Amino acid sequence: MSDIAPQAVEDLLDAAFGSDRFERTAYRIRKGTDAIPVLSFALVDDGAPIGTIQCWPVAHRGASGTATPLVMVGPVAVRPDLQRGGHGRVLMAHMLAVAETEADGALMMIGDPEYYGRFFGFGADATGAWDLPGPYEKRRLLARATNGHAVPVGAGMIGPRL
């Protein structure tokens, strides 16, 4: 990622999600945090990014004040004209392999269970009592254990780990 112009990645995200993407709940969850370098990277073709994945340090905060670290996955994006060609799976598979030794919390994301459940083991079973700082569909709030970190199942607000 380091040798790619950050603006090129931003342009790719605009193309995949639209330039109003900053209003999304996902952006509010991780507001003020920096991407985790070892879990954030791009697929590059001829010097230009064609796919990108970023992960962020967030936390689940229960009513008692207990904070459990989580790693938020996303955005995951592939250039629109190259979608459905396996690039998303390559990005996710590499991130998951690194997370198995590097992630300091379970993984969570807002995404389509038909994709992230089917291929990558994410599910919404454990997240039913969670809350987010903005609108979301419960079925799209997904989580997955990794690196020995279980998914916290209790009630709690998901927000930035600062």
SS3 content of the chain, % helix, strand, coil (to 5): 35, 30, 35
Q: Tell whether residue 156 is a contact of ligand COA (CB under 6 A).
A: no
For 67, residues 6+ apart whose C-beta sits below 8 A from its C-beta are: 59, 60, 61, 161
Q: Tell whether residue 96 is a contact of ligand COA (CB under 6 A).
A: no
Distance of CA 129 to the CA centre of its chain: 19
- Residue closer to ligand COA by CB (options 4, 67) is 4
Phi-psi region of 18 (alpha: psi -120 to 50; beta: other; left: phi over 0): left
Q: Which of residues 40-79 bind ligand COA (CB under 6 A)?
A: 74-78
Q: Minimal distance in Å, beta carbon 116 to ligand COA?
A: 8
Q: What H or E segment, with its residue span, contains residue 152?
A: none
Q: Tell whether residue 27 is a contact of ligand COA (CB under 6 A).
A: no
Whether the CB-CB separation of 35 and 54 falls below 8 Å is answered with yes
| Residue that has been written with the tokens 């796919």 in this structure | 51
- Residue closer to ligand COA by CB (options 78, 143) is 78
Q: Considering only 29-37, 63-71, 93-101, 106-114, which stretch makes contact with ligand COA by CB under 6 A?
A: 106-114
- Sole binder of ligand COA in the list 1, 4, 10, 17 (CB under 6 A): 17
Q: Minimal distance in Å, beta carbon 50 to ligand COA?
A: 9
Phi, psi dihedrals of residue 63, rounded to the nearest 5°: -60, -30
- Residue with nearest beta carbon to ligand COA: 88
Q: Minimal distance in Å, beta carbon 66 to ligand COA?
A: 27
Q: What is the DSSP letter of 17?
A: H
Distance of CA 85 to the CA centre of its chain: 20
Q: Minimal distance in Å, beta carbon 65 to ligand COA?
A: 30
Binding site for ligand COA (CB under 6 A): 16-17, 74-78, 83-89, 111-112, 114-115
